[in-house]
């Protein structure tokens, strides 16, 4: 007698959210990306197929970063000095969408120029991050939002102290927002409530639960993401958003990935170690339910795409 596999029946689901607007929708993107839509825990294909597989974003900067690992500078080369060239190279590396991170050195004119140059260089959907300082974020993201009205960008990063201006400009210009809370189910839910209460449509919110890198708190981040997914499937409307995670940022700031000299010989080859740190971090987050994975190294992109395909086919 065949064994019947037990299946959970959930009352909730993850919202399907589309990033980027094609010409048919009033934008200029050559394609849009839809994430979310799941009706079960990740990759339990015997319960329900995965409607939209996770996608990979590559992070680029508005100007060449001085604090990135030399390994990243080596692989991206001179393109790092020009966001448009960097965007093209990232698309060639397999990115499904791009993250453009602005800096505190950018003026309003610099920021708008950088965003427009990336939009002209590639047809991929775009996420734009401010520098991470509330006043500077507002100073740069409002004119960027206005200059790209209708493109369905994702603007971020919204946190409890600086979400109002970013959400308001996103609402006014047809964009989405990235809502980040510090590794806590209740804080994530509360921020989503605050953003929704401003009138932002729920199909224009991405949830960023924050994560750590391999060996730097990833276990806690993994469990928070699982709990958010369980709450969503159990019917909690304020946790039913696709999740975006940043393993590239987290992994490459660890000394094991960033530093090649003065480390124990037992750590092995620097390049292999660094890429493995990003890849393993990202793989864990994919398995915990991430919908958008933001990476930095092209080899990591390749490996994570392969991992996703294996999970979907399992």
CATH code for the domain in which residue 213 is found:
3.20.20.20
Classify residue 273: in a domain, yes or no: yes
Identify the pLDDT of residue 224: 97
Classify residue 1: in a domain, yes or no: no
Identify which of 56, 88, 55, 61 has the alpha carbon closest to the alpha carbon of residue 73. Answer: 61
Model confidence at 200: pLDDT above 70: yes
Alpha helices in the chain (DSSP H): 70-76, 83-92, 108-121, 134-147, 163-173, 185-197, 218-233, 247-252, 255-258, 270-287, 298-313
List the domain range (segments joined by +) for residue 259: 42-313
Classify residue 146: in a domain, yes or no: yes
Model confidence at 210: pLDDT above 90: yes
Q: Domain count for the chain, please give it.
A: 1
3 DSSP 8-state letter: P
Phi-psi region of 233 (alpha: psi -120 to 50; beta: other; left: phi over 0): alpha
Classify residue 21: in a domain, yes or no: no
Model confidence at 1: pLDDT above 80: no
Q: Are 211 and 246 in contact (CB under 8 A)?
A: yes
Classify residue 226: in a domain, yes or no: yes
Per-residue pLDDT of 149-175, as tens digits, reads 999 999 999 999 899 999 999 999 999
237 DSSP 8-state letter: G
Identify the pLDDT of residue 6: 85
Per-residue pLDDT of 260-311, as tens digits, reads 888 888 899 999 999 999 999 999 999 999 999 999 999 999 999 999 999 9
Q: Are 45 and 109 in contact (CB under 8 A)?
A: no
Strand order in the sheet with 292-295: 205-208, 176-180, 154-158, 126-129, 97-101, 55-61, 292-295, 244-245
Classify residue 187: in a domain, yes or no: yes
Classify residue 15: in a domain, yes or no: no
Per-residue pLDDT of 45-99, as tens digits, reads 989 999 999 999 999 999 999 999 999 999 999 999 999 999 999 999 999 999 9
Per-residue pLDDT of 8-50, as tens digits, reads 889 999 999 999 999 999 999 999 999 999 999 999 998 999 9
């Amino acid at each position: 007698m065949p064994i019947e596999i037990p299946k959970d029946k959930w009352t909730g689901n993850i919202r399907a959210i589309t990033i980027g607007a094609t010409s048919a929708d009033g934008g200029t993107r050559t394609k849009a990306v839809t994430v979310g839509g799941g009706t079960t825990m990740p990759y339990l294909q015997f319960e329900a197929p995965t409607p939209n597989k996770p996608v990979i974003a590559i992070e680029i900067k508005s100007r060449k970063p001085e604090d990135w690992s030399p390994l990243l500078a080596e692989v991206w080369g001179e393109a790092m000095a020009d966001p448009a060239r960097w965007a093209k190279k990232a698309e060639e590396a397999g990115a499904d969408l791009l993250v453009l991170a602005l800096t505190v050195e950018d003026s309003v004119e610099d920021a708008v120029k950088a965003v427009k140059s990336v939009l002209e260089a590639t047809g991929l959907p775009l996420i734009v991050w401010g520098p991470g300082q509330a006043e500077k974020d507002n100073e740069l993201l409002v004119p960027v939002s206005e200059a790209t009205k209708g493109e369905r960008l994702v603007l971020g990063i919204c946190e409890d102290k600086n979400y109002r201006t970013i959400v308001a400009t996103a609402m006014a210009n047809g964009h989405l927002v990235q809502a980040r809370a510090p590794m806590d189910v209740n804080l994530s839910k509360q921020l989503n409530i605050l953003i929704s209460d401003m009138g932002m449509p729920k199909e224009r919110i991405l949830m960023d639960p924050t994560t750590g890198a391999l060996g730097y708190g990833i276990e806690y981040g993994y469990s928070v993401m699982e709990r958010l997914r369980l709450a969503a499937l159990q019917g909690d409307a304020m946790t039913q958003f696709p999740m975006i995670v940043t393993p590239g940022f987290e992994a490459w700031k660890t000394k094991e990935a960033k530093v090649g000299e003065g480390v124990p010989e037992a750590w092995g080859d620097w390049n292999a170690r660094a890429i493995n740190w990003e890849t393993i971090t990202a793989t864990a987050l994919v398995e915990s339910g991430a919908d958008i994975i933001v990476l930095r190294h092209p080899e990591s992109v390749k490996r994570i795409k392969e991992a996703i395909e294996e999970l979907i086919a399992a």
